[in-house]
C-alpha cells in the first residue's frame, strides 16, 4: 500500500476499511470503500468504543478499487461528502 504509506494512513485503518467499510460504485468502473455511520457502529461493537474513538481521526479515509480486478487505485482522506446515487 504505497499510497496509504505516502499519505500517512496506518495499515490497521486500511484493514478495518477492508473488513468493515461500505462500498459504492462510481459508475466509471471503480468502487469506493469508506466508513459510514453503520460501519463505524460495527467497529465499535467489534473493538469497543474507546479504541475506535481514539482512532477517529482516521475514519475519514476512503479507498478506490478497480471493480473488475479489486486492485487498489488510490487511498486518501475525505474532505467532502461522497456523492451517492
In DSSP terms, which residues pair with 46 in a beta bridge? none
Q: Please say if the pLDDT value at position 77 is more than 90.
A: no
Residue 84 resides in a domain: no
Residue 82 resides in a domain: no
In the structure grid, which three cell numbers stand for residue 15, read together?
484493514
Residue 66: domain span: 2-77
C-alpha–C-alpha distance, residues 62 and 47, integer Å:
20
Residue 34 pLDDT: 93
Mean pLDDT throughout 3-18?
A: 86
Residue 83 resides in a domain: no
Mean pLDDT throughout 3-14?
A: 84
8 A C-beta contact, residue 20 and residue 7: no
> What is this structure's pTM?
0.84
Residue 8 pLDDT: 84
pLDDT interval class at 28 (50, 70, 90):
confident
Residue 84 pLDDT: 66
What are 36-68's pLDDT values in tens digits?
Answer: 999 999 999 999 999 999 988 889 999 999 988
Residue 72 resides in a domain: yes
Q: Identify the sign of the CA torsion 17, 18, 21, 26.
A: positive
C-alpha–C-alpha distance, residues 23 and 52, integer Å:
20
Amino acid at each position: 500500500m504505497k499510497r496509504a504509506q505516502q499519505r500517512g494512513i496506518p495499515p490497521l485503518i486500511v484493514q478495518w476499511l477492508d473488513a468493515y467499510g461500505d462500498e459504492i460504485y462510481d459508475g466509471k468502473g471503480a468502487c469506493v470503500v469508506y466508513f459510514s455511520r453503520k460501519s463505524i457502529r460495527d467497529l465499535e461493537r467489534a473493538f469497543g468504543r474507546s479504541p475506535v474513538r481514539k482512532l477517529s481521526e482516521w475514519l475519514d479515509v476512503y479507498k478506490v478499487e478497480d471493480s473488475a480486478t479489486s486492485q487498489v487505485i488510490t487511498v486518501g482522506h475525505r474532505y467532502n461528502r461522497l456523492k451517492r446515487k
